[in-house]
Amino acid sequence: MFELTGKQAVVTGAASGIGFAIAQLFAAQGANVVVVDLDAEKSKAAAAAITSKTSGLASGLACDVGSEASVQKTFSEIEGPIDILVNCAGVAHVGNVQSTSVDDFDRLFGVNVRGTFLCMRAAIPSMLHAGHGTILNLASIAATIGLSDRFAYSMTKGAVLSMTLSVAKDYIAQGIRCNCISPARVHTPFVDGFLAKNYPGREAEMMQHLAQLQPIGRMGTPDEIAVLALYLCSDASSFLTGVDYPIDGGYVNLR
């Protein structure tokens, strides 16, 4: 039901975390996956790891998603039609409106918003030519509910959600679907780095605290996000477009 054989999927931010889990699962389901990340060596290493563990094909390309020139160059190097685009590249920030610097604001906007926009704009011509395509953007529960000290991050994810709805509306007649996923906290290398930087010596204690904020009692895993991504990018979800899917351990509705 979730087979992707014969399809080419471009996944940004795919050298680690959620992006890597999505790229690996897509390859396991038969897709030809293009691993896109800022660092060329990490992109190639991730692609090599994927091909060693799955029966699918994977290649790695470097791209600064916030740079128009870099996005154009990277997508010009992708051979064949782009059937699936997953915009997973993103950066986070802790701070309220007063503690967020203009540089921080611009940095998050550049990657999370501008990057999602540029990659969609680069991929859609291929989808239009083929007469079909699927786009999946990574938003967040921060797009729709208030989170403390996540001002700039919430702003960018709200924009991702709005762009998702706009693209879904504008291209539905051309056979292009566009949806987004809104996770709550997921245990990724970013979480480990955040705890090590801000709570040295108390990592385990704070990990437990953050886990308990989800009503289900734990954080999500990248693999769990990848399964939902697979559904939304496969033909099994062909009747779905313009949808924001929360995957949050009950955070939004059960707190």
pLDDT tens digit sequence for 42-76 = 999 999 999 999 888 999 999 999 999 999 999 99
pTM for this prediction? 0.96
- Known catalytic membership, residue 251: no
pLDDT of residue 119 exceeding 90, the answer is: yes
For the domain made up of 8-184+221-241, give the CATH fold. Rossmann fold (3.40.50)
Give the pLDDT confidence of 130-185 residue by residue, as tens digits: 999 999 999 999 999 999 999 999 999 999 999 999 999 999 999 999 999 999 99
By the 8 A CB rule, do 85 and 119 touch? yes
Report whether pLDDT(95) > 90: yes
Domain locations in the chain as residue ranges: 8-184+221-241, 187-219
- CA angle at residue 196 from 191 to 200, to 5 degrees? 140
For residue 255, pLDDT over 90 is answered with no
DSSP state of 111: I
The answer, yes or no, to whether residue 198 has pLDDT greater than 90, is no
- Catalytic one among 153, 171, 245, 251? 153
Question: Which sign does the torsion angle of CA 72, 11, 153, 99 carry?
Answer: negative
